[in-house]
Amino acid sequence: MRDVLHNKISVHGYWSDHVSDRMGDLRDLLRQNVDSVSPGADIWMSEICILGGEGDVRSFGGHGYDADDMDLAIHIAKVMHRDLTRLNASAWHWWLAVTPYNYKDGLLKVDSSLDANTLEETKLFWTMGNYSRFIRPGYERVALDGFDDLNGLMASAYYSDEDGKLVTVVVNASANQAMPLELNTEQIELSGSEVHMTNKDHNLAHVGEFEQGFIIEPMTTVTIVSDVK
């Protein structure tokens, strides 16, 4: 069976995101346990959404859904970051595309009547796009140390030799502090870097070129797409 599935293990992330030890230690232990019994296995986060109540990482539960909720969007960006960097997940899937419920389980919202004219985009949808639009199949994560603060900057980077692209996703999880970003690119020669931003004012918007010291506003996710020479 392992040969048929190509040594992939599928997990669900429910109830693993509301407290800090589950956001860190639990993911580290899972990765270690998988490696001990099935070396080289790919872990797929095949299903996750908000379940349960609040904790020390999030101040909300699943009930109630505001399409413009940046707290939810940034929280899920944190979860994606930890799943990709600590769990080393090679695939990541949200539970539901469209929800007719007043519950945080869909990327898009629609009225309970299912009237297509009531369909709403959400900040969660756009924030997830900072990852999914630019990190494409075949991209490999590369080392990017020093950006793993649940209350500050979180960053990860992905490279495609075929496309000649380096994609860096940075989350400023601070509620009130803007932060300058300095990236060590000495070992990779870049010819240009475009910035795409999602926050309360932008939906995956192209906002210009990246320069060292670029200021990332609070509760903001940016994707830096760089051409590699």
pLDDT tens-place string over residues 103-140: 999 999 999 999 999 999 999 999 999 999 999 999 99
Confidence at 40, pLDDT banded by 50, 70, 90:
confident
* pTM listed for this prediction: 0.94
CA distance 198 to 216: 11
Q: Which residues of 155-191 are buried (b: 16+ CB within 10 A; e: fewer)?
A: bbbbbbeeeebbbbbbbbbbeeeebebebebeeeeee
> Measured on CA atoms in the order 147, 148, 149, 153, is the torsion positive or negative?
positive
pLDDT score of 84 more than 50: yes
pLDDT tens-place string over residues 180-210: 998 876 667 778 899 999 999 999 999 999 9
- Measured between alpha carbons, how far is residue 37 from residues 9, 29, 33, 43, 120 in Å? 11, 13, 7, 13, 44
Closest CA to 156 of 178, 134, 176: 134
> Measured on CA atoms in the order 49, 53, 54, 56, is the torsion positive or negative?
negative
